[in-house]
Amino acid sequence: MSTKEISPNKKLLIVFGVFLAAYFIPWGIGRVARATNEAFLMLGEYARLHVLLCLVPAMFIAGAITVFLNQQAVMRYLGPKANRLTAYGVASVSGAILAVCSCTVLPIFKGIYKKGAGLGPAVAFLYSGPAINILAIVLSAKVFGWKIGLARAVGAVLFSIIIGLLMAFIFRKDDAKRAADARLFAKPADKPTRSLGQMIVYMFSMVGILVFVNWANSRGGNVIWDAIFAAKWWITGAFALVLIYTIIRWFNKQERLDWVVATRDFSLQILPLLFGGVLVAGFLLGRPGHDGLIPTAWIANLLGGNSVFANLFASISGALMYFATLTEIPIIQGLLGAGMGQGPALALLLAGPSLSLPSILVIGGELGWKKTLTYVGLVVGLSTLAGLAFGMIA
């Protein structure tokens, strides 16, 4: 798997930026000191709650996609020339099944994109994973009312498809060239050593581990959901036993080694950017319920009413903040209590879970900053419009 090397000049620029921050930021001032403490507390919380249970399983899935998934199959169903209904249907449904946060979806997104998925379907998957979270939508309706719950559900599904289609259209020449290069340099497919059924069981066991080990408690919001939560470790263990069986019986030593190496490479590409982004997000905005450099009260004051600015500010704030799965609900509940309007609340619900500063850094490293900023702009713009429209009728 190829990796993008950072040039010496860029490395020097990064070092120079760190030096300027170390030299000029007044670390001893109370608010700055508290923000610095929040940055490391948020990083520690992120490491404890999300790396082992979320990112590690996702890394192994991404490694498996890269090593074992047939490139022609990926291009047939998710490539630029694939049937749009099939491609975007598969991408949005796959993302919704995972129901992960904006950072956990990144390794899998990188895996399918590197394997030949078109930009549009890959971006649809990237948005749908964090945004179309069934429990989050149900709890949104329970906490905020059915109108905002329905608006979030409809908006998230439509946005995943619309944003994917727009990205594919805007960068159609780049995508066509990338697809042509992939076909030109693609290696002839080897005779499969495993049946399709075996590969489905292998991949599904890893997805099952990722889904159920991160199954959240609805706290009384859904009886069936909470029953699954009570048994999640037993379910996860069952999937783990299936995975162990497939690894031992259906893969040889070299294949297992290739899988581990691919997983390691994904980790080296993604984790430094994620950790750096979490530190910056914690420094600026703090953990939920705690202030970073920017006080939460300032944000709440800017989100009142239903002006274009309030909805735009909510969308931009959501795009930069890091929301672990379901944490957006108590945060927005608190902001609504502080005077935030219904429109900005929806804008934050549509932009926040799908993006974060850490995820933007990783996406930029994979797609380049032109495509990344276009994607962020589409999410922010559509979320702003949706919030503005909802605020008028709510």
Q: Is residue 204 part of a domain?
A: no
Residue of 390 and 90 predicted with greater confidence: 390
Q: Is residue 108 part of a domain?
A: yes
In sign, the C-alpha dihedral spanning 203, 209, 214, 218 is: positive
What's the pLDDT at 340? 84
The amino acid present at 312, given as its one-letter code, is L
Share of the chain above pLDDT 90, in %: 27
Q: Is residue 369 part of a domain?
A: yes
In sign, the C-alpha dihedral spanning 115, 378, 94, 232 is: positive
What's the pLDDT at 187? 57
Q: Is residue 245 part of a domain?
A: no
345: nearest Cα among 378, 281, 394, 289: 394
How many domains does the chain contain in total? Answer: 1
Given a contact cutoff of 8 angstroms between Cβ atoms, the answer to whether 387 and 315 are in contact is: yes
| pTM higher than 0.75 | yes
Domain of 66 in residue numbering reads as 29-194+251-393
Tens of pLDDT along 247-275? 999 999 999 999 999 899 888 888 888 88
What's the pLDDT at 373? 95
Q: Is residue 37 part of a domain?
A: yes
Tens of pLDDT along 198-238? 888 999 999 899 888 888 777 666 788 888 889 999 999 99
Q: Is residue 241 part of a domain?
A: no
273: nearest Cα among 368, 358, 375: 358
pLDDT (mean) for 105-128: 88
Q: Is residue 168 part of a domain?
A: yes
Q: Is residue 9 part of a domain?
A: no
